[in-house]
A and B are shown apart, each in its own frame.
Chain A
Amino acid sequence: MFRHAAKLLRRPVPTTSPAASAVSRRPFSSDLPAAETADPAFVEAWKKLIPNIDPPKTPLSFMQPRPATPASIPTKLTVNFVLPYASELSAKEVDMVIVPATTGQLGVLPGHVPTIAELRPGLMSVHDGNDVTKYFVSSGFAFIHANSFADIIAVEAVPIDRIDANLVQKGLAEFTQKVNSASTDLEKAEAQIGVDVHSALNSALTG
């Protein structure tokens, strides 16, 4: 009885109003303009009725609007690098950021295509002119927006000079041994994670 349901659902629906057709042809959210902060019709009506008191603000008016996507590629990339307990970099203008994505090292320049990348334990470097700041990121996500804003969120990130090489070597040896002696799937997975993280720490310190 429902064999043709999928086909019927996919056919073009006759639109009832221009607003409905605009919504159904909505572009990707990376291209949306910022939402309006106040309803102009409501503000007009309020001012006519109660000219002495300011119209009430809605939650949207307290939010900073999304910076618009500029027409030409900007010269600098704006990076927000946050951790659960601190904001490492807040709206910092840099030239390039290299993040350790699961698909490899991802170099982000101004004008990068909008991307969402899952991060793996690895080295992240922030390049600004001749300054390079390196952090070791445990895991997280990187959101690169169309307007050359990059939001990088990590669970734990440390500057590499805070990493103790001896502890890394000891950890690597310990987990390599655990991988060999692990019995259940879960133990094997945990040991493998240990090996991955410690070898990433090792290459971050040496590389």
Chain B
Amino acid sequence: MDIMWDLGRREREEGVKMSAPMPFWRAAGMTYITYSNICANLVRNCLKEPHKAEALNREKVHFAISTWKDGKAEKPVIRSDLAED
């Protein structure tokens, strides 16, 4: 597109870098949220008891994913960290 000639003008003409270098995790295909969640999990795993147990308990999730096909709900997939009874 002709309108693209102007983008990055300052980068080209003045040699100024307009964006920070890409972090290694983004270069490997990871998003910021995934990176942030991995960091948080690692920190939680390094806590002393009982804080560690509280933190891991706090992060437990339980949800059901239902896909719909032809106007009907199919069997939901349940993802759970709680004990299955």
Using a CB–CB cutoff of 8 Å, the interface residues on chain A facing chain B are 1-3, 5-6, 85, 121, 136, 138-140, 155-156, 158, 162-164, 167-168, 171, 185-186, 188-190, 192-194, 197-198, 201
Contact = CB atoms under 8 A, between A and B. Distances in A.
B46 A2 contact: no
Q: Could you tell me the dominant secondary structure of chain B's interface residues?
A: helix
Nearest to A185: B28
Contacts of B58: 85
A138 B28 contact: no
Interface in B1-58: 1-3, 5-6, 24-25, 27-30, 35-40, 42-48, 51-52, 55, 58
Interface residues of B, number: 28
A158 B51 contact: yes
A193 B43 contact: no
A81 B2 CA distance: 47
A164 B40 CA distance: 15
B54 to A, nearest CB: 10
Given A158-B43, A158-B51, 12 more contacts: A5-B2, A6-B3, A85-B58, A121-B39, A121-B43, A139-B36, A155-B39, A163-B47, A164-B52, A190-B38, A194-B42, A197-B43
Contact of A2 (B1, B39, B51): B1
Nearest to A156: B40
B48 A155 contact: no
Contacts of A188: 28
A167 B3 CA distance: 55
A155 B1 contact: no
